[in-house]
Amino acid sequence: MSPLTHALISYWHRLPSEAPSARRKALDTTRDRIRAGLEPPAALVPFALCDVDETIVIAATREFVAAAVSGTGATDQAITEVTDWVRRGLALNRGAVFGALLGLGDERFEQRLAGLRLTLSPSEIETVSRVVGPATGRVAAFLKDWLDLLAEGAPQREGRALSGAFAAALSARAA
């Protein structure tokens, strides 16, 4: 088994008994160790994939992207890796990972996420809307395109979830 597999299994075992505040503190410690060059960005993967707490998943995902891109210069590889977390259903909280990546407002992520948006469940769509909050600029345009796509023939349940979830985000854009 790979070291990452061991780390994921260990995190899953701790998750039910460890309070979110303790997991956030562990994330902060891991983030500091990565910034100091004591651990690789991959140390953030268990937080992003195995946690259910939105704030932990968002912070771990964004920090992983920042560390992986700046640390190795492997931008395409990092983009592929984190979007695969959504595509392959690797994250327990796919909606938070998707929202964290979309919230970056980066065209490279948006291109990858565009092909994945119809794979999200209504509850994941609601999570995305909470994560991105009031949307402006590129994110608002992405959400508008998503709504238009759903209007053209998406299943009713997903269309209703998306319309309701993104109404506030898009109305904030108009304000």
The pLDDT score that the predictor gives to residue 77 is 83
- pLDDT at residue 72 greater than cutoff 60: no
Query: Tens digits of per-residue pLDDT, 146-172?
Result: 888 777 665 556 666 666 666 655 565
- pLDDT at residue 50 greater than cutoff 80: yes
Query: Tens digits of per-residue pLDDT, 26-46?
Result: 999 999 999 999 999 999 999
pTM, whole model, 2 decimals?
0.85
Query: Tens digits of per-residue pLDDT, 78-89?
Result: 889 999 999 999
Query: Tens digits of per-residue pLDDT, 88-106?
Result: 999 999 999 999 999 998 8
Q: pLDDT: is 113 or 73 the higher one?
A: 113
The pLDDT score that the predictor gives to residue 11 is 77
The pLDDT score that the predictor gives to residue 75 is 76
- pLDDT at residue 174 greater than cutoff 70: no
**Mean pLDDT, rounded, of the chain:** 84
- pLDDT at residue 67 greater than cutoff 80: yes
How far is Cα 162 from Cα 121, in angstroms, rounded to an integer? Answer: 10
Amino acid of residue 113: L
The pLDDT score that the predictor gives to residue 165 is 61
The pLDDT score that the predictor gives to residue 73 is 52
The pLDDT score that the predictor gives to residue 133 is 79
SS (HEC) of the chain? CCHHHHHHHHHHHHCCCCCHHHHHHHHHHHHHHHHCCCCCHHHHHHHHHHCCCHHHHHHHHHHHHHHHHHHHCCHHHHHHHHHHHHHCCCCCCHHHHHHHHHCCCCHHHHHHHHCCHHHCCHHHHHHHHHHHCCCCHHHHHHHHHHHHHHHCCCCHHHHHHHHHHHHHHHHHHHC
Sign of CA dihedral 164, 58, 72, 105: positive
When divided into structural domains, the chain yields a total of 1
Give residue 54's domain range: 3-174
